[in-house]
Amino acid sequence: MNETNLTSKIKTEPNIGNRFAAGLVDYIIIYAVTFFLIYTLGEPNDEGGYSLNGLPGLIPIAFWLIMTVGLEIGFGATLGNSLVGLKPIPKNGTNRKLTFGESFKRHLLDPIDMFFFGLIGIITIKNTDKNQRLGDIWGNTIVVKTSELKKTE
C-alpha cells in the first residue's frame, strides 16, 4: 500500500478535548516532579525561593525529555495520550512509533502550542487539513485515535 492510500485511510479529527486532557495529564506530572525536585534538591535563593544549580538543574529537563519524547518513541504515546486513546504517528499515515527527531520537534514547540491555555494549539488544530498543532506541523506528524488505527490494520 502506498503512502497516499495510507493517508487517505487514516481519519484525523480535532479531538480538542482529548488533546487538552492529554497535555494536562502529562504536564501536571512534569510540573509536580519538577517542583518536588526543586524543593528537595534545591538551595534557598535571595528571593525566598529555591533554585537548582549545576548538574541537578538538568534533572527536570531530562525528566521532561523522558516523559514526552522517551515515552513516545518507546511506547508510541505519552501517558496522557494513552489515557485518552490518542497516538501520534508520521503524517504519511504509517502506523509506527515516532523517531526521536519527530517526537522532539513535536514537544519542543509545546510551550507555544499551550500558550494561554492552548489557544495557539487549538487555532492551528482547527485550521489545518490534518488537525495539526505547530509541533505536529514541524515534526511532520498527526495525532489520531487509536481506534482509527485498528480499522486500517
DSSP per residue, 115-146: HHHHHHHHHHHHTSTT---HHHHHHTEEEEEH
DSSP state of 77: S
In a domain, 104, yes or no: yes
* pLDDT per residue as tens digits for the range 84-125: 999 999 999 888 999 999 999 999 999 999 888 889 999 999
- What pLDDT score does 147 carry? 87
Which range marks the domain in which residue 117 is found?
Answer: 14-148
pTM of the prediction? 0.84
In a domain, 69, yes or no: yes
Residues 84 and 21: their CA atoms lie apart, in Å, by 8
In a domain, 2, yes or no: no
In a domain, 49, yes or no: yes
In a domain, 123, yes or no: yes
Contacts of 119 (CB under 8 A, 6+ apart): none
Residue with cell 513516545: 72
What is the torsional sign of CA 73, 74, 75, 78? Answer: negative
In a domain, 96, yes or no: yes
Number of structural domains in the chain: 1
Is the separation of the CB atoms in 89 and 95 below 8 Å? yes
In a domain, 5, yes or no: no
- What pLDDT score does 10 carry? 74
Average pLDDT over residues 12-32: 93
68 has pLDDT over 70: yes
In a domain, 31, yes or no: yes
